[in-house]
Amino acid sequence: MQLSSDFFGDWLNILKDILQNHWGYDISGVSEDELPYVYFNAEKRRPDQRIRSVEVSDVFTCPADLQAGWERLMAVVESGGDVTPNLSKLVGRLNNKDSLLNDWSVHHFHLGEALNGNFIERTGPLLFALVTKDKFYATNVFNHDAWADQNIVEIIHRNWPDVVSQHQIKNVISATEISENERLTLRAKNANSFFTVSDGTVYAPIGGGVVGSGYNVQAIISTDRQRSMLKSLEEHLQSQLINLKDTLCQHGYSGEGCIKATLEITDSKYLAIFPDYNVAVTLIDNA
Q: What is the mean pLDDT of each run of 10 residues along the chain (287 residues)?
A: 96 97 94 96 95 98 98 98 96 92 98 95 97 97 95 98 95 80 96 93 96 95 97 96 94 93 95 96 90
pLDDT tens sequence across 141-152: 999 999 999 999
* Bridge pairing between strands 53-56 and 279-285: unpaired
Return the closest-CA partner of residue 201 out of 156, 243, 141.
156
**178-179-183 Cα angle (round to 5):** 75
Contacts of 91 (CB under 8 A, 6+ apart): 45, 46, 84
> Which pLDDT does position 286 carry in this prediction?
86
For residue 94, the Cα-to-chain-centroid distance in whole angstroms is: 14
Question: Partners of 264 in the beta sheet?
Answer: 271
88/98 Cα distance (integer angstroms): 10
- Dihedral, CA of residue 210, residue 223, residue 163 and residue 180, to nearest 10: 10
Q: 34 near 15, Cβ under 8 Å?
A: no
pLDDT tens sequence across 240-284: 999 999 999 999 999 999 999 999 999 999 999 999 999 999 999
> Which pLDDT does position 133 carry in this prediction?
95
Q: Name the residue ranges covered by the structural domains of the chain.
A: 2-7+220-285, 46-164
